[in-house]
A and B are shown apart, each in its own frame.
Chain A
Amino acid sequence: MTTVRIPTPLRRFTNGAEDVPATGATVAEVIEDLDRNYAGMKARLCESDGNVRRFVNIYINDEDIRFLQQLQTPVRDGDELSIIPAIAGG
């Protein structure tokens, strides 16, 4: 089980929850699981070709997956996956 940390703009998908559990052996599988439980989440995170959108940053614990194996980065039990958006207004 992985804990996924949800940024404010996506909490309307999770009924306001800041952290939600998800399963999967890779980041891609965790995102698929998120999308099963919270429909529409994947489209917010990934382009239509499946790649993570450029302005979305995904971290496993404190590591940016762009510097690991991107969507194929392995996810272990107890890991924390954080979705960090770009900074908005002001």
Chain B
Amino acid sequence: MGKPAPGLDNCRACESVLDYVGNTPLIRLKGLESEIGRPGVELYAKAEWFNPGGSVKDRAALLIVEDAERAGLLTQGKTILESTSGNTGIALAMIGAARGYKVDIVMPSNASEERKQIIESYGARIIYSSPLEGTDGAQRLAHRLCSENPKKYFYSNQYGNDSNWRAHYEGTGVEVYSQTRGRITHFVAGVGTGGTIMGTGRRLKEYNADIKVIAVGPAESLHGIEGLKHMATSIKPAIYDEDFPDAKVSVPTNEAHKWVHRMAKEHGLFIGLSGGAAIHGALKVARKLSCGVVVTVLPDTGARYLSVRF
């Protein structure tokens, strides 16, 4: 059994697995601090694989479902529909199973086998889209399916649903500020839907307008950093404001892959590909500072990528 989430009363049983979404650990990366060699710079990472569905996406998926229930958009008998590269599909499949909803997930057919198997293990159905079109093609197919079957589906639309970024505004941002005792100076996060950076960033800037928010994205249009979007050549998510981050870091695929390997072998953290990119971005920011507290987000575990060549 894993360590209970820090925010819960560990002496009592919880009502649902979903009570364990959020309140993830913040881990200090002392080994990387030594590498940077700047005594005034501290580096931390949110370990989002501690969420019960195994990724940061549990946060957005849960609030999307709860808000839709409150608004009467999602009622028993409806099927949740989403397009995803994988982790949001896993999160919704878990939540659907726990809450009694059917879930249809649209994803490109070249998604990894472990993702497909996890989603199906939760009882959700996968609808495959063209591998040539990536998540943009999956999005278009999900839009079409929803417009053809409006009574059947609740389309959770993570790319355009404000509950996505609000999950981080209400959760991740509050947690990061509290866990650093308000000392955070820089927040670095990868951008897929933009939910993490918009929600966490907005909250942090409300606490302290001097906190800098840095977006991490792939350096090239054809890249191998699953989970991150090359905005210039993709459908821009409606919830993401490209002018919001104070700065951007572009990460070559080989750098993200290098950090996945190094974090596992040298630091005992088996992280996913977007986490590797986040580490590269956080180090790039930290190396320019003489003092500061840099926090990044590690969205999932490397166990999600065992069948991926890198």
Contact = CB atoms under 8 A, between A and B. Distances in A.
Do chains A and B interact in one complex?
Answer: yes
A90 B221 CA distance: 16
A12 B233 contact: yes
Query: Number of contact residues on A: which range applies?
Result: 20 to 34
Contacts of A54: 224, 257, 309-310
Q: Which of B86, B111, B158, B222 has the most CB of A within 10 A?
A: B222
A67 to B, nearest CB: 12
A88 B309 contact: no
Given A7-B222, A8-B233, A10-B221, A88 B132 contact: no
Interface in A51-86: 53-57, 82-86
A9 B135 contact: no
Interface residues of B, number: 41
Contact of A10 (B136, B222, B225): B222
Contact of B222 (A9, A18, A82): A9
Given A7-B132, A8-B137, A54-B309, A87 B86 contact: yes
A6 interface: yes
Given A8-B137, A8-B233, A87 B85 contact: yes
Given A82-B132, A88-B134, A89-B135, A9 B230 contact: yes
Contact of B224 (A5, A53, A82, A83): A53
Given A9-B134, A57-B110, A89 B223 contact: no
A44 interface: yes
B227 interface: yes
Contacts of B253: 53, 55
Contacts of A55: 223-224, 253, 308-310
Contacts of A87: 85-86, 107-108, 110-111, 134-135, 226
Given A8-B137, A87-B110, A44 B222 contact: yes
Contacts of B191: 89
B192 A84 contact: no
Contacts of B187: none
Given A8-B233, A44-B220, A86 B135 contact: no
B44 to A, nearest CB: 24
Nearest to B112: A87
B136 A8 contact: yes
Judged by DSSP, the binding face of B is: loop
B234 interface: yes
B57 to A, nearest CB: 8
Contacts of B88: 90
Nearest to B133: A8
Given A9-B222, A54-B310, A89 B132 contact: no
Given A55-B253, A55-B310, A89 B222 contact: no
A89 B192 contact: yes
B166 interface: no
Contacts of A57: 110
Given A5-B132, A8-B133, A57-B110, A89 B224 contact: no
Given A7-B131, A87-B226, A88-B85, 6 more contacts: A86-B225, A87-B85, A87-B111, A87-B135, A88-B230, A89-B228
23 contacts: A44-B220, A44-B221, A44-B222, A53-B224, A54-B257, A55-B223, A56-B222, A56-B224, A82-B131, A83-B132, A84-B131, A85-B224, A86-B225, A87-B85, A87-B110, A87-B111, A88-B218, A88-B228, A89-B227, A89-B234, A89-B237, A90-B83, A90-B227
Interface of B: 83-86, 88, 107-108, 110-111, 131-137, 158-159, 191-193, 218, 220-230, 233-234, 237, 253, 257, 308-310
Q: Which 8 A-B pairs have the closest CB atoms?
A: A55-B224, A89-B229, A89-B192, A9-B221, A86-B224, A87-B85, A90-B192, A9-B222
